[in-house]
Amino acid sequence: MPASSPQASENNVPSVDGVTRAAPTSKASSPSGDINKTKRALLLGAGIVYGLLTLWFLSLLVLLPSPTGSLKGLVAAGSLSALLCIVLLFLVGAFMLQRIAKANVSTATRRRSLIKLILPLLPLLILSGVTPFLIMREPSLGLAITYPTRAEDFVAPLSVTFSAEHATDVLKKRGLRPILYVWDFDGDGKPNEETVLPVATAVYERQGAFVPAVRINLDDGTFRRVTRRLTIPRAVFSVSPLRPVVEKPVRFSIAHLVAKPEDIREARWDFEGDGVVDEVTKNTDVQHTYYAVERVPVSVVVLLVNQSQVTYERDVDIEQPRQLPFPVTLITEPKNLVGPAPFGAIFRIDTQEPLREVVWSFGDGQEERGADLRRIGHSFASPKIYPVSVKVRSASGSLAELTQLVRVTETLSIGDLRFDGTPKVEGAVIRGEVPVTLDLKAVTSLPLVEFLWEAPNATTFHATGAALRAIYRTEGSYTLTLVAQDPEGKVMRKTLTVEVSPASAAPTISMQPSAGVAPLKVLFDASESFIPPGEEVAGFEWSFGDEVAGAGAELGSARIEHIYEKPGEYIIRLRVVMESGSEYTAERTIVVRKPLLDACIQTSRPLTVRAGEGIRFDPLCSTGSPVSFLWDIRDASRPSVVLAQSAEQSYPHVFEEAGTYTVTLTVKDALANENKETITITVENP
């Protein structure tokens, strides 16, 4: 081929779809100008399509994967569009490569054209290639903290509740079913707890940074691991239970803040946040009870023997008791968990729920667990307040946690303790027959000693301070405990034994009414009589004390009525005859009073009248049951002279002469009881 001149070569350089520079043309070349316009339009359209595709794929990467699963339709659309985009880019690239290869240009120009082709196509090709994989990936899983929710509450010792519920929902929407959650609360790779629910609570005793994690085991044999970062910036006194509730004692402790308890000169506690010291103690542990749901600032000023002091503060949320996932209660023996060291107690859970595991923690570093460990005893060796907790996991995986405080103190000694009342306390034993009624009072000369009684098996029980009233109606041997506490917190537990023996056979007579006015109708009842086991009653023989001389006793049933016609004091005797021939007797006394008879005079006129006027006298206001009446009228100046008398119930009389007169009414009843009433009448001249 003949070599062309440089000028000709420059003027004849072909255009490769706008990649290489077009040869200069004259302004008069109209076809070449149309071609340039077409190229610019194609480039503009390609740029718009390029931008829209880029924006579409970036939007997909922002929206997907969706944690809620609500944008599933975009996954298919995005994957299909990415595939089409890849095919389109390959076609465009292949076409452009063919043009570049056929162009009559230098190698350097061809290289530059190739670079200009790759630079715009490669980013979109990579973006469309990775988009299907990124939008179909599993959404990120998170581990949430549901308690506490305020940043200022992250103060050790601290109870933190973690929740993987959001992660569980995400997995379920992807067709994966979690079957077990393995919790690592301090991030050391060692599991601390396993649950079937996506919630767990951990206790952090110290400040610091932690990386708690949960491994979610799935039903297909795979697992997911979710972590988060937890920072606890400071540590103060501990609170137990970690989530206090109203009307339950709360333990506060500074034991972990001091090297030796002996270094404490005193600790001044303010439980209400009002600036008033509520308790001063040398002990590391104190307890307080709150009676309202509130957020309370609690503080303690610790004075040390080296004359230094430090103040600790934290806010405490007092809550209502949380709803347990299934019915379960914690029962303790004794009920009042306070006593001198060593102090033993029995703990028992009561539930109808099938259980998988029971874990007991006694607050002294000891722990017991078992598949069905419903009852357990424990001894607390040294004075301290111990938070005893039990975690009860049901067969379904639900977890219930209950807490009780045990206060162990130094021993209180009361040398002059005695018991006043009945029955007599002999040593440490009380004896009696059913029913045994205790009416006792603990007495000591020590000042400011508070008493508390425990009678768990008494039929009825009432105690106020040192005074006790209890009744035992069933034979057996029972434990009665007196708890005494002095102002220093020392405690004494005095145990008494109540020995209740069977009642001796003895009829009992009840009367209704037990007294009254003659004539009196009384119902006698001996149905509550105690009859020894194995005996059968043949009959009841009654004597009421008002029988005619020589009359025998009346045979009847356990319930019988009798009427006392006359007043007096009567002795009722009962003889209960058994089929075996044995008999038992009982007596009671009843007092029948005279009827209440009271004479009263009503007049038809005022007590001052004129001579010649009459007055009607009536006994209508009299009380009792009068059967006879006697009216007696006399001159007050001559009281021994009877002017008029009448036995009529209502009596009219005319006063003829002026003067002063007395009118007397005498009434009598059927039992010869008598009563009088006298009034004075003044008669004036007309």
Query: What string of H, E and C letters represents the secondary structure of 554-579?
Result: EEECCEEEEEECCCEEEEEEEEEEEC
CB 458 within 8 Å of CB 434: no
* pLDDT mean over 669-680: 88
Q: What angle do CA 438, 439, 444 make, to 5 degrees?
A: 115
What per-residue string of b and e applies to 638-657 under the rule 16 or more CB within 10 Å gives b? eeeeeeeeeeeeebebebee
Residue of 279, 400, 414 whose CA lies nearest to 340: 414
Mean pLDDT of the chain: 87
Tokens, residue 639: 């009281």
* pLDDT mean over 549-553: 73
Round to whole Å and give the CA distance between 462 and 439. 10
Please report how the helices 107-135 and 72-102 are oriented relative to each other, as an axis angle in degrees rounded to 10: 170
57 pLDDT exceeds 50? Answer: yes
pLDDT band at 31, cuts 50/70/90?
A: low
Q: Strand pairing of 537-543 and 608-610? A: unpaired
How far, CA to CA in Å, does 537 sit from each of 28, 338, 511, 552, 585? 145, 51, 21, 20, 13
Give the domain 236-318 fold: Immunoglobulin-like (2.60.40)
CB 499 within 8 Å of CB 429: yes
SS3 256: helix
308 pLDDT exceeds 50? Answer: yes
CB 253 within 8 Å of CB 227: no
The domain spans of the chain are: 6-135, 144-234, 236-318, 329-409, 418-501, 510-593, 602-684
* pLDDT mean over 308-334: 93
Please report how the helices 72-102 and 30-63 are oriented relative to each other, as an axis angle in degrees rounded to 10: 150
Amino acid 67: pLDDT: 67
CATH of domain 329-409: 2.60.40.10
What beta strand segments (E) does 414-517 contain?
Answer: 418-422, 429-433, 436-443, 450-454, 460-464, 467-472, 476-485, 491-501, 510-512, 515-517
Tokens, residue 481: 């405990």
Quickly tell me which residue has 């076609």 as its tokens: 91
How far, CA to CA in Å, does 33 sit from each of 37, 39, 333? 6, 10, 105
Residue of 284, 412, 387 whose CA lies nearest to 330: 387
CATH of domain 418-501: 2.60.40.10
For CA atoms 255, 258, 263, 264, the dihedral sign is negative
Round to whole Å and give the CA distance between 586 and 572. 8
Burial label, 186 (beta-carbon count in 10 A; 0-12, 13-18, 19+):
middle
Tokens, residue 330: 């914690």
Amino acid 9: pLDDT: 41
How far, CA to CA in Å, does 660 sit from each of 536, 608, 610, 611, 638? 76, 9, 11, 11, 10
The 3-state secondary structure of 34-61, one letter per residue:
HHHHHHHHHHHHHHHHHHHHHHHHHHHH
SS3 437: strand
Biggest CA pair distance of the chain: 190
Highest mean pLDDT among 53-57, 404-408, 486-490, 582-586: 404-408
Please report how the helices 107-135 and 30-63 are oriented relative to each other, as an axis angle in degrees rounded to 10: 30
The 3-state secondary structure of 395-423, one letter per residue:
CCCCEEEEEEEEEEECECCCCCCEEEEEC
In this structure, the chain runs to a length of: 686
pLDDT band at 11, cuts 50/70/90?
A: very low
489 sits in the region (left: phi over 0; alpha: psi -120 to 50; else beta) called left
21 pLDDT exceeds 60? Answer: no
Least confident of 1-15, 500-514, 565-579: 1-15
Render pLDDT for 69-84 as a digit per residue (tens, 0 to 9): 667 777 788 888 888 8
pLDDT band at 16, cuts 50/70/90?
A: very low
Q: How many Cβ atoms are within 10 Å of 669's Cβ, its own excluded?
A: 18
* pLDDT mean over 383-404: 91
Round to whole Å and give the CA distance between 198 and 207. 25
22 pLDDT exceeds 50? Answer: no
How far, CA to CA in Å, does 503 sit from each of 18, 582, 643? 122, 17, 72
Least confident of 126-140, 243-257, 274-288, 319-333: 126-140
- Give 98-110 as a DSSP string: HHHHHS---HHHH
Least confident of 129-138, 247-256, 614-623, 628-637: 129-138
CATH of domain 602-684: 2.60.40.10
Tokens, residue 184: 């690592």
How far, CA to CA in Å, does 180 sit from each of 195, 196, 224, 369, 619? 6, 5, 11, 20, 97
Least confident of 68-77, 208-217, 664-673: 68-77
Amino acid 6: pLDDT: 42
164 pLDDT exceeds 70? Answer: yes
For CA atoms 46, 51, 52, 58, the dihedral sign is positive
510-593: same fold as 236-318?
yes
Instruction: Say what percent of the chain tops pLDDT 90.
Output: 53
What is the second-level CATH architecture of the domain 144-234? Sandwich (2.60)
Chain-centre distance for alpha carbon 525: 47
Burial label, 534 (beta-carbon count in 10 A; 0-12, 13-18, 19+):
exposed
Tokens, residue 129: 């290639």
Amino acid 66: pLDDT: 67
Q: How many Cβ atoms are within 10 Å of 111's Cβ, its own excluded?
A: 12
* pLDDT mean over 254-259: 88
565 pLDDT exceeds 80? Answer: yes
* pLDDT mean over 155-160: 90
Amino acid 603: pLDDT: 94
Quickly tell me which residue has 């009624």 as its tokens: 437
For CA atoms 317, 321, 324, 329, the dihedral sign is positive
pLDDT band at 30, cuts 50/70/90?
A: low
Amino acid 69: pLDDT: 63
Amino acid 555: pLDDT: 81
Round to whole Å and give the CA distance between 40 and 22. 13
580 pLDDT exceeds 70? Answer: yes
Q: Helix, strand, coil % (nearest 5) of the chain?
A: 15, 45, 35
pLDDT band at 86, cuts 50/70/90?
A: confident
| Helical residues (DSSP H) of 235-353, grouped into ranges | none
Tokens, residue 140: 């990120």
Tokens, residue 70: 């609500």
Residues 6 or more apart whose CB falls under 8 angstroms from that of 284 comprise: 253, 254, 255, 258, 261, 264, 267, 384
In terms of pLDDT, which residue wins out, 88 or 217?
A: 217
Least confident of 27-36, 309-318, 344-353: 27-36
Give the domain 510-593 fold: Immunoglobulin-like (2.60.40)
* pLDDT mean over 395-423: 92
Instruction: Say what percent of the chain tops pLDDT 70.
Output: 94
CB 630 within 8 Å of CB 645: yes
Amino acid 33: pLDDT: 65
* pLDDT mean over 103-132: 84
